[in-house]
Structures are given as C-alpha cells and as structure tokens.
Copies of this chain bind each other. A is one copy, B any other.
Amino acid sequence: MTEQPITADLVERENAARETALKRDYEALGEQLDRRGISIDAIRDRVAAFGVAVPSWGVGTGGTRFARFPGPGEPRDIFDKIEDCAVIHQLTRATPTISLHIPWDKAEPEKLRQAAERFGLAFDAMNSNTFQDHPGQEHSYKYGSLSHTDAATRRQAVEHNLECIEIGKTLGSKALTVWIGDGSNFPGQSDFARAFERYLSSMKEVYAALPDDWRLFTEHKMYEPAFYSTVVQDWGTNYMIAKELGPKAYCLVDLGHHAPNVNIEMIVSRLIQFGKLGGFHFNDSKYGDDDLDTGSVDPYRLFLVFNELVGAELRNVAGFDPAHMLDQSHNVTDPIESLMVSATEVTRAFAQALLVDRKVLADCQEENDALMASETLKTAFRTDVGPILAMARLKSGGAVDPVVAYRASGYRAKAAAERPAITGTGGGIV
C-alpha cells in the first residue's frame, strides 16, 4: 500500500475545519456555472485527472550567481527529494510524477523505482546535464558540449545523453529533455552555422538511440549561461531541430526563456499547428529567466497558454499530448510550499480555460467582435475556480488547503532535525 509522508489524520482534521465553507462556495459557484451552461462536477473531474510533473531539483533551495541561501531541512540526496515530492503530491494530488536530472540524481535505478513506488509516484522525462563539469569528467563543457568544436567533447556529451536514456528505461520514463548551455559571450566567438551543424549532428546520434515509444524534447533559451548567443536560442531554431531530427522530436517551451514582450501563447499555437509542441516548463518571470513561481507575476498569461492547450484538445489536434512540468528556482520560500502553490496555479489555469465559452468565442472571432472575444476569455479567467480545485483535491484524498495543512504537519521541522544543514555561501545552482 502507498505510504504518505504526512499522517492521514492531520490532513483529515485540517480538511474537516474547511469543508463546510468549501461546500457553500462550491454550491454557489455550481449554480452560477449552471446558468452559464457548465457542469461544475464535470470540471472538477477534469481537474482531478490533471497532473504536472515536479522536478527533483525543485525541492532544494535555488540561488543566483551572487548567492544561495539554503533553508532548513534541505534534501541531501535524491531519496530525500523523492520524499519531499511525495509531500507535494499527497497534499495537492496534482503532481504524480518526478522529473530526474542526471548526474545530480544518479543512484541505483532499482532503489530509485522502489523509493518512488513507495509513495505512489512515477518518473517523468529524464534531464541530461552538459552545462556543468562533473567530478571525474574528462572534457570540460566550458566552451560547449553537444556543439563543442572538439569532437571528443561532443562524444562525451552524446554518451551522457545515451546514459540518461538507459537510466530512464529502467525507471519507466518515456522522454528525454535536452537543454544545453552552449553559446557564446562575444561576437565572433562562435561560428553560428558550424556550431548549429555540430549540434544537429550530435543530436542525431542521441535521437538514434531513442526507444520507439520515447519522445525527445529540446528546449530553447534566449540567453544565460551564454550571454551573446545561444545555440538553441528561440522557438524558430527549436522547430528546425525537431524537423531535422524526426517524428519523435518535439519542442519544449519554458515560459521564462523568451525575449521581452514576446507573445508566448502564439508560439504555443504555432507549434501545435505544425505538430511539434512537446511540452512545458512552467514558471513565471518579470525580467528574463527569473524562474519565479508559476502564475505569481502574470497569471493571465498562464491562462492564455492553457486557453491554447484546451482549444487544441477540443479541436482534437492529431498527436497533441504535451508534457507538463514545473521548473522554478525557489530562493526565498520553502520549496515544497512553492511547488504546491505552483501546481495549483497550473491546475487553476487549466480549470479556467475549461470554462471558456468556445462557441461564443468562435463567433466573436468570426465576426471580429474583439471586445466580446476578450470579455469571453475574461469571464472564464475571472471565475474564482478555487472551490473546484479544493473539491477535486478533497475527493482525491488531498488537502483542501495544502499549504496550511503542510505547515500544520511540522514536516519541515522534522526534516531539519533529520537532515544536517548545508553550509557554504557559494552561488546557486538551479
């Protein structure tokens, strides 16, 4: 039977205190939605079936190049991380899978599987890492990895990705996500065309090793760690890659990896239309790749992305099956709390997008009634779907208010007592 890090008692007690009010709100909203021709229970059930993956590295405190300020009870290894992930899923019921990062999470595969199964968790996409040098590594990635000018360094990076696939196979993963830090800091440092040729050539080797039922996700990023150019700088280049590699290759969209002002929901639409949307790394940002908590700065943008996703689903776009993952840097919060709230935000945007009256929207679009089209989206967005999300959690055995339940549980204090403090004041890795 599945274990849970937090006692069922506590969750039930916390829920009991909130249930009456929740039911009142749920009923009132249900009545309102009914007038709008929507069944609240149907939305609740869609929400309950929705999941977003948690990145193993997300449960540790992040940092910047200036500093990292760890909190109490930082996970010491992948097994601590899995336990933290289990807390998140126990209380939100929205994060049934974990995404691993190799070599950070390297361990005996069988032990990994058992650790996850113990909490009823599974593994999402595997993530390779060729943007850092790891102890014992022969060739440095200082000047690139899959696109490096040196063939031996490229080979080493390819081999690392092949190893990630091998590990993933044993864990039941079905996808490999490749993000590289390759790029340049000076005009002239890199020959754009040759670097991209080398990258494509390396990726073709990785692609060739992909099992038939796997997908390959490539991720673009406009800048950082390279600050003049990056090899996979935007969705245009990412699309070229997916086309060059083949039908199992897809583009991954990280919400924070674009130029200022860019219309991300439109990029999502284009990739869906041309059959190459692989999935998302969710987060929010104000200035760049800030890796802020999902929906914390611009919740309407998140809704607009889900508006595209739900629209595509309802249009039955062939092969449409995007992966969802959180990818954030938690510098000033308890990472478990941030991930619970962010998973909720993703679910909230999904629920709001389900409420869009698509018939009215399509009519407004056809008639160029811009104002009413906008109001149609806004009506869905403004609906406080909180009671739906809470009821979905309640029915699935989660917490009505995950953060409050978590704080009441004393989990963090217990972890702090069990896990020795991490020292060091260096810059952060996220």
Contact = CB atoms under 8 A, between A and B. Distances in A.
A427 B267 CA distance: 30
B296 A191 contact: no
A372 B376 CA distance: 31
Interface in A382-396: 382-384, 386
Interface residues on A, range: 35 or more
A383 to B, nearest CB: 6
Nearest to A62: B65
Nearest to A361: B188
Contacts of A197: 273
A64 B188 contact: no
Given A187-B304, A222-B287, A293 B374 contact: yes
Contact of A429 (B28, B67, B135): B67
A364 B131 contact: no
Contacts of A186: 292-293, 296, 332-333, 370-371, 373-374
A255 B403 CA distance: 34
A366 B189 contact: no
Contacts of A337: 371
Contact of A141 (B69, B297, B403): B69
Given A24-B31, A290-B227, A234 B236 contact: yes
B196 A331 contact: no
A234 B286 CA distance: 15
B292 A181 contact: no
Nearest to A258: B259
A64 B135 contact: no
Interface string A17-34: 000010011001101100
A298 interface: yes
A322 interface: no
A427 B63 contact: yes
Contact of A273 (B196, B298, B365): B196
A7 interface: no
B225 A334 contact: no
18 contacts: A24-B31, A25-B28, A25-B32, A65-B427, A143-B368, A149-B366, A188-B307, A188-B364, A193-B269, A223-B290, A227-B290, A239-B239, A260-B260, A261-B286, A263-B286, A288-B288, A298-B301, A427-B428
3 A-B pairs closest in CB distance: A236-B236, A427-B427, A28-B28
